[in-house]
Structure 1
Amino acid sequence: MDLKTALSVCVKTGKTYSGLKETMRALLMGNPKKIIISKDCKDKDRIEYYCKLSGTDYATVNLSSLTLGEYCGKPFPISSLTIINPGDSNISDIKE
């Protein structure tokens, strides 16, 4: 399963949050399975720092925020995608 298919299946069948504010909230309060970060995310270093502190798996993908939003089926850019439940996708196998 390629990245585009894995992301769309994850968004449709699992539970995800999009955006920096939701990502930071999940990292501080919850236990996300994985964080997907776009290549042009302005707060990439901050997200990576909190991922390391909480022990959360993360991947920086070589996609712009517009493309990441498109892959997730959204009409707006997504700088970071928080995966709480991957659903039927194998998104946890995706590496940087």
Structure 2
Amino acid sequence: MDFNASLRKAVKTGTVFLGQNKTRECIEEGKARLVVVAANSPESVKDLVKEINVPVYVYEGSSVQLGKACGMPYVVSALAVVEPGESDILTAARV
């Protein structure tokens, strides 16, 4: 299973919020079904996901690489998957 392909499909067909502020909002509202953080995310982002009751996937690449994996031309340090759409990202993240 290719996590990058699953992520891109979730961004295109599902509901995914990019950025640490939007991710925080989704967590606080109880909407996030999966949180993805880049390996080089700031400590504030890592602190955000320490005490949540949501699956967290640490993306092995940098925030630049995570942004590219999402198909975006900017850095993404964190994202929240609310609805996976046609993607299998919720199962891919558990591998």
Do they fold alike, i.e. is TM over 0.5?
Answer: yes
Distance 1:24 1:60 in 2: 16
Query: Runs of at least 4 residues of structure 1 off by over 6 A?
Result: none
Give the conservation status (yes or no) of the 8 Å contact 2:20–2:45. Answer: no
Aligned Cα root-mean-square deviation (Å): 1.4
Residue of structure 1 in register with 2:38 after alignment: 38
Is the CA contact 2:17–2:81 (under 8 Å) kept in the aligned structure 1?
yes
Report the TM-score when normalising by structure 2: 0.89
Structure 1 runs not aligned, ≥5 long? none
Q: Which amino acid counterpart does residue 30 of structure 2 have in structure 1? A: G
- Structure 2 runs not aligned, ≥5 long: none
- Aligned CA distance change for structure 1 residues 25 and 50 (closer, same or farther; 3 Å): farther
Q: Which moved more, 1:7-16 or 1:55-64?
A: 55-64
Percent identity of equivalent pairs: 25
Q: Which amino acid aligns with 1:67?
A: Q
SS state of the match for residue 59, structure 1? strand
Q: Calculate the TM-score normalised by the size of structure 1.
A: 0.89
SS in 1 for 2:56: strand
| CA distance in 1 between partners of 2:66 and 2:46 (Å) | 18
Equivalent position SS for 1:83: strand
